[in-house]
Amino acid sequence: MTAANEAKAILERLGAGGPIWSSDGIEARSPIDDSTAGRLAETPDLEPVVVRAAEAFRAWRRIPAPRRGELVRLFGEELRAAKADLARLVTLEAGKVVSEGLGEVQEMIDVCDFAVGLSRQLYGLTLPSERPGHHMRETWQPLGPVLVISAFNFPVAVWAWNACLALVCGDPVIWKPSEKTPLTALATQAVFQRALDRFGDAPDGLSQVVIGGRDAGEALAADPRIPLVSATGSTRMGKAVAQTVAARLGRSLLELGGNNAMIVAPSADLDMAVRAIAFSAVGTCGQRCTSLRRLLVHESVADALVARLRAAYETLPVGDPREDGVLVGPLIDADAGEAFEAALAQAVEQGGEVIAGGGRLDRDGVYVRPAIVRMPAQTAVVGHETFAPILYVLTWSDFDQAVEMQNAVPQGLSSCVFTDSVREAERFLSAWGSDCGIANVNIGPSGAEIGGAFGGEKDTGGGRESGSDAWKAYMRRQTQTVNFSRDLPLAQGVRFDV
């Protein structure tokens, strides 16, 4: 059975098969063997989708937040029951190795747990008033329908980051998944429907999936009835979404490109660094926004570290991600393969030397050998994010220089330093250190936990999702003042007697 047909069988087993297939529309394919399960009918009319979401909001915002959390709790239970099938579908449609597929669904489950607790902690503030007999408070109210535009590389987890928080905050969700991974979205919606059936009194339209391309995303982003658009993808896409949403004074939550670096100091544990580099640079075949792209190594340890990395890269198992022991699956499509090859050619033109990997495997699907490239400087190609397993190696002599190199790219998502020096670690974490949304010490830049808010600065978009107080993005803040006296004093001592 081809990978795509296996995906189709899982989809039907989860209850999302049947009338979704069409003679034209979005192609459902697997990067594993470039097989196609068929085409999915695109959502024909977006107006009913938005109307249903708006009607659902009017009902859902009246449900107490802990009760809304109960729906998310049930969803977490259904995800646990469907974990094996949904994780397999992630592998088949996105090309992730088995453990990564399982990890992505586990991340959804973890976010459900986080959101359930959050449903009883949507706290505000009580504020002192300068006026006698008055009190002030700051509360958070449901915002409205939320549009989630997700990318292929995390086809279900990123939606869950947004949807679980939005639902407990009182907001319905419209999901426009990547055209490259629509099956996982439909499967997730089927699992969510099981939770809805058990919940009993949820309004229709609380969660909807829109199948379509760029035009569908643009139309929904422009709709003033959708107050928040959460978009994950390229910086180019995010800038287009931001302009569209800003034109109607809506809100954007953007998770865009990353060009993440690791600084390796002379005191670093090189064995530990090699392990961190290997996962961060080649996990998901380099197709994570947090993938390691730039390795900034002190000149005194660069040769030793590169030698260890080359040895590790030579043994990396590349192949069908369903097979035991495989660590590197395929790139998502032919365009990604062409971008990989073009970037390597540009790196050589700009003075780089490919010292490991770089070739393609002769098989169906786009499989490449993860590459290591030593660069003389941080050239244009190094400053551009190529969504593929290319690791650029540069050297430094002064720690301040290394931090400046780390920050000297347009993107600002994730970063890390390997050092045993407290001074270097704290310098890296200081206000004049890493300018990224994520900064780590002695771990790689990839593999964030859901408890911390996820996101970055500059061309990464500035958005924050998942943990911490990211829930505030899905709500509107309201300052309330109550006068319980029989007088009507004005603030700031203003007098206006009539």
- The beta-strand segments (E) located in 87-242 are 125-127, 134-142, 146-149, 173-176, 207-209, 228-232
Under 8 Å between Cβ of 183 and 209: no
Q: What are phi and psi of 352, to 5 degrees?
A: -80, 160
d(CA 124, CA 120): 12
DSSP 300-349: TTHHHHHHHHHHHHHT--BS-TTSTT--B--BSSHHHHHHHHHHHHHHHH
- The beta-strand segments (E) located in 143-212 are 146-149, 173-176, 207-209
Helix (H, G, I), strand (E, B) or coil at 38: strand
Is residue 255 part of the annotated active site? The answer reads yes
* Catalytically annotated residue among 179, 255, 424, 465: 255
Question: What burial class does residue 457 get, using C-beta atoms within 10 Å of its C-beta: 0-12 exposed, 13-18 middle, 19+ buried?
Answer: middle
CA-to-CA separations, 107 to 68, 103, 132, 159, 448, in angstroms, rounded = 20, 6, 49, 11, 10
AA letter at 12: E
CA angle, 24 then 28 then 32, to 5° = 145
Is residue 289 part of the annotated active site? The answer reads yes
d(CA 318, CA 278): 13
Helix (H, G, I), strand (E, B) or coil at 66: helix
* Catalytically annotated residue among 112, 289, 416, 436: 289
CA-to-CA separations, 475 to 122, 171, 377, 383, 384, in angstroms, rounded = 10, 8, 45, 36, 34
d(CA 437, CA 446): 13
d(CA 318, CA 423): 39
Under 8 Å between Cβ of 440 and 414: yes
Under 8 Å between Cβ of 426 and 381: no
CA angle, 355 then 356 then 362, to 5° = 135
Buried/exposed code over 160-192 (b: 16+ C-beta within 10 A; e: otherwise) = bbbbbbbbbbbbbbbbbbbbbbbbbbbbbbbbb
Catalytic residue numbers read 255, 289
